[in-house]
């Protein structure tokens, strides 16, 4: 919604510049600033520029949420094992295609009491360029797979890559989803050094943090093992996204 207010503000600025007989370069500067803000906001889900997303829980209690994207995968069972061993529940934002590939693992996620979120059917690299209709199809198709495989319904949705725009905002409203972001991004899919990932996560933690991880690699599993030790030592509890 902030996007529409900003457009009105931008148009007002143009009228104001016109009234003052501003030069072409002033118009160009305003346009470039407007474009930069829109692009930046598209990739920063925490700004809530196009759609309001839950990025943390307001609390003074030392508790955090562990969330995992892009599964289930061949690595997910190991993640489930360590979570079960530590009696911790997490939130898994699953891709429809991956659920079809690993149905038993998906069913295990549900049976062990973890929360499920929709992460689209295909997690397309073109997500930011898809029409509202295509985005609705992506979300609804994933919902169908979740229901068929796990007999489960969810109103939680996390946009792939955290990208938002007017089309994605409309698709979220049309499908009745609750957009979920994060406050601590591990960057575990692009960082190879496990220690760097661990330090990035633990450095940014505070009460109510929502941590973004991916159950897609041995690397992140190792980070999770150390992170759980850290949480226990620092007396952090965990919560799932509702």
| Residues with a known catalytic role | 69, 214
User: Which own/partner contact pairs does 123-129 have at CB distance under 8 Å and 24+ positions apart?
Assistant: 123/70, 123/95, 123/97, 123/160, 124/160, 127/159, 127/160, 127/161, 127/163, 127/168, 128/42, 128/161, 128/163, 128/165, 128/168
Backbone angles phi, psi at 55, to 5 degrees: -115, -10
CB of 48 within 8 A of CB of 164? no
Q: Rounded to whole angstroms, how far apart are CA atoms 228 and 231?
A: 5
Strand partners, 93: 69, 117
Alpha carbon 159 to its chain's center: 6
Q: Rounded to whole angstroms, how far apart are CA atoms 211 and 68?
A: 8
Backbone angles phi, psi at 116, to 5 degrees: -110, 140
Nearest-CA neighbor of 72 among 182, 211, 216? 216
């Amino acid at each position: 919604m902030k996007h529409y207010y900003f457009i009105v503000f931008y148009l007002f600025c143009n009228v104001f510049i016109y009234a003052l007989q501003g030069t072409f370069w002033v118009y160009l500067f305003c346009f470039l600033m407007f474009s930069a803000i829109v692009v930046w906001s598209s990739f920063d889900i925490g700004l809530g520029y196009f759609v309001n997303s839950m990025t943390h829980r307001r609390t003074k209690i030392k508790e955090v949420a562990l969330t995992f994207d892009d599964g289930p995968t061949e690595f997910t069972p190991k993640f489930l094992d360590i979570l079960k061993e530590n009696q911790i529940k997490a939130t898994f934002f699953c891709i429809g295609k991956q659920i079809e590939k690993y149905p038993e693992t998906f069913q295990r996620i549900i049976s062990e009491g973890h929360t499920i979120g929709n992460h689209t059917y295909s997690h397309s690299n073109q997500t930011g360029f898809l029409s509202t209709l295509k985005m609705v199809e992506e979300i609804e198709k994933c919902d169908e797979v979740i229901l068929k495989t796990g007999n489960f319904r969810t109103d939680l949705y996390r946009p792939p890559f955290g990208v938002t725009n007017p089309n994605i905002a409309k698709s979220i409203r049309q499908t009745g989803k609750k957009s979920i972001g994060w406050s601590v991004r591990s960057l575990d899919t692009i960082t190879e050094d496990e220690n760097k990932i661990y330090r990035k996560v633990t450095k940014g933690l505070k009460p109510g943090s929502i941590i973004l991880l991916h159950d897609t690699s041995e690397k992140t599993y190792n980070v999770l093992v150390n992170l759980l030790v850290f949480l226990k030592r620092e007396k952090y509890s965990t919560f799932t996204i509702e």
